[in-house]
A and B are shown apart, each in its own frame.
Chain A
Amino acid sequence: MFHSRGRRLNRGMSTVAACALALTGSAALAGGAAVYHHGLIRVHVDEKRPGGDRVNILVPGAIVPAVLAFVPDSKLEKVEKKIRVMMPVLRIVVDELERYPDTVFVEVKDKREYVRVAVEGGSLTVTVDSPREDVRVTVPLATVRSVARRIESVGEVQ
């Protein structure tokens, strides 16, 4: 009798463990899919003065829309008002840029500075090398679109 009860308990535990594993797996897959879809945001700033700051940020792009969802509309309204004129252009640019192959759109090089704006692997990359600092920013286009939509949604409510 005990033997049978123990077997039932084991079976129950196995089912719970399987469910937990399935849930964890699904969450990991969903997370992986979100990271794959949004890609990674990379920010690298290297100040060239003695004792200058060095910043390296590497975060999944999927975090940004998730964080923005918790930002109160009142805070985003100010941003929306400032960039309202630019929003239609931004939306078109992001939608269109995803259609094109990897491309360097602007490249400026002189004796002191180097500036490059490109789309590579579905991300917008901006590079600025100057005597003061080196800056490299990579933002996935999907993230830019999500942010633009969130900011626009604040304007639509008004």
Chain B
Amino acid sequence: MRHKMRHNWKRKLTGVVVLLLLGAIVAVGQTPERWLHVRVEKTGDNAETVRVNVPLALAEKILPAVNIDRIRNGRITIEGTKAEGVDLRALFEAVKTTQDGEFVTVESKDENVRVAKAGGYLLVKVRDERTRKGETRKEEVDVKIPMTVVEAALSGGRDELDLLAAIKALSAHGDSELVTVRGHNETVRVWIDTKNTQ
């Protein structure tokens, strides 16, 4: 009798240990919740601060339910826009298959633009410097989008961007700084991390 009870306890204990291990595996395997943050700060006469925090999982769930104007089933049509007729996918494939490097460089008196691919990211850099009424105004724009996100966005039909796929790809990506704008009296920052605050 005592032997049978001890045997039962052993079985129960083994079951609990197995459950705990499975729980630990699931917990380790789960990726942390990612949040998209936007911060706009304006100084001067029109001083303004905008802060937005959106969980990417929420955006993933909402997008398929939004059917307004150009947005349908998580996709946005680009028909009738400047990008219409341009084979974005072919363009992306060409960029994807080539080695890291600069693809576009525009240098002018006031503005320098650089489009490059490096370390799995599509990079856009704009440096603008203009002098007006003796005052020099500088603006710097940095865009850093993971190639997997661009690929996901272009995975839909022709003349449409798959926003849902892009957000999913973004969720799978680690913390990253997506857009930074530093202007004369304005800064804009768009980034992703696991915090729900800024």
Give me the interface of A with B, judged by CB distance under 8 Å. 85, 88-89, 92-93, 96-97, 100-101, 103-111
Q: Quick check: which of B56-64, B76-84, B121-129, B157-165 contacts chain A, the rest being far away?
A: B56-64
Query: Within the assembled complex, what's the spacing in Å between the Cα atoms of A108 and B53?
Result: 12
| Contacts of B1-55 to chain A: CB distance below 8 A | 33, 46-55
Number of interface residues of B (CB under 8 A): 21
Interface pairs (19), CB distance under 8 Å: A85-B68, A88-B65, A89-B62, A92-B58, A92-B65, A96-B55, A96-B61, A96-B62, A97-B58, A101-B196, A103-B53, A103-B197, A104-B51, A105-B54, A106-B50, A107-B52, A109-B48, A109-B50, A111-B46
| CB neighbours of A111 from chain B (8 A) | 46-48
Looking at chain A's contact residues, the main secondary structure is mixed
Chain B min CB distance to A77 (Å): 22
A108 touches B50 (CB 8 A): yes
B51 touches A106 (CB 8 A): yes
Residues A96 and B54 in contact in the complex (CB < 8 Å), given A103-B197, A110-B47: no
B197 touches A104 (CB 8 A): yes
Residues A107 and B51 in contact in the complex (CB < 8 Å), given A92-B61, A92-B62, A96-B57: yes
